[in-house]
Structures are given as C-alpha cells and as structure tokens.
Amino acid sequence: MMPIEARPLDQKTDNRGRVFEVFRSEHVPKGGFGQVYVFTGSPGSVKGNHYHARKTEWFCVISGQGELILCDRESLHRECITLSGDRPMVVTIPAGVAHAIRTLSNTEMIVLAYVTESYNSEDPDTYPFPLA
C-alpha cells in the first residue's frame, strides 16, 4: 500500500469569501525550500502520467474538480482521489509513486502544488508512467 496522505483543509468562510491554509512548515520536510507552483487543466485534459525518483509533491485543487490517479510502481496498486476547490484538501504524493490528474469540471481546474526540489531542466527527475 502506498503511503498517501489526504488532508482535508479547514475553511474559514464569511460574506467576503473563504480562506484555507494549504502548506504550513509542519506539513513539509525540513532541509530547505523546494518550489511552489500553479498549474491548470482544461476540461477533460490529463496532466502528469509520470513519477519522480527523489521528489515528493503536494497537490491542492483550488478551483474546479479533478481526479488524482496514483499508482505504486512496485505493487501496481492504484488509488483515485477526487479533489475539488469546493472541498479543498492536500494530497501528498511520495517519491516513486506514479501520478496523473484528470480535469473533471466543465471549467478550468486550478491546482496549487509544492515540490521538494525546484525544477531543473538538466535533471528533471521526471519519468513517464502512463496512467490515464
């Protein structure tokens, strides 16, 4: 079984909107800052279909809806988690776990992500692994 953590986020809501804390220092490993990035998915599109040998990632859908597909490459155990900006949660994707995310909403999906290493085009640590 994959050591996946899906952590629902506490939302504070009032007539002005809502706020939820996505990443706090206690949620990510010590030892330096990686990279925070945002990516989007068009309706029906799939992103990812890869794994990282060294990097751990955290995904949080902040708008729209998506299906995160995870696969333990050793056991081939698959798990699917529906993520939604309406019910935000953060999912930890450990190094070695293949992942892809499919946009389920009819509008653009927006994902906030954190990764333990900044992207380096000369050493991307990204290996294809088709899931969707």
pLDDT band at 3 (very low <50, low <70, confident <90, very high): low
Question: In a 10 Å sphere around its CB, with 0-12 CB exposed, 13-18 middle and 19+ buried, how is residue 15 labelled?
Answer: exposed
Q: Is 27 a domain residue?
A: no
- Whether the Cβ atoms of residue 70 and residue 80 lie closer than 8 Å to each other: yes
Domain carrying residue 59: 5-10+35-128
Q: Following DSSP, what letter does each residue of 56-116 receive, concatenated?
A: -EEEEEEESEEEEEEEETTT--EEEEEEETTB-EEEEE-TTEEEEEEE-SSS-EEEEEEES
User: Model-level pTM?
Assistant: 0.90
Domains contained in the chain, number: 1
pLDDT in tens, 26-85: 877 777 789 999 999 999 999 999 999 999 999 999 999 999 999 999 999 999 999 999
Q: Is 68 a domain residue?
A: yes
User: Chain-wide mean pLDDT for the chain?
Assistant: 93
Residue 95, pLDDT above cutoff 60: yes
43: CATH: 2.60.120.10
Residue 2, pLDDT above cutoff 80: no
Q: Is 21 a domain residue?
A: no
pLDDT, mean of residues 97-109? 98
Q: Is 112 a domain residue?
A: yes
Measured distance CA(20)–CA(10) in Å, rounded:
6
Q: Is 39 a domain residue?
A: yes
pLDDT in tens, 6-18: 999 989 999 999 9
Q: Which pLDDT belongs to residue 5?
A: 87
Q: Is 85 a domain residue?
A: yes
Q: Is 64 a domain residue?
A: yes
Residue 1, pLDDT above cutoff 60: no
Q: Is 25 a domain residue?
A: no
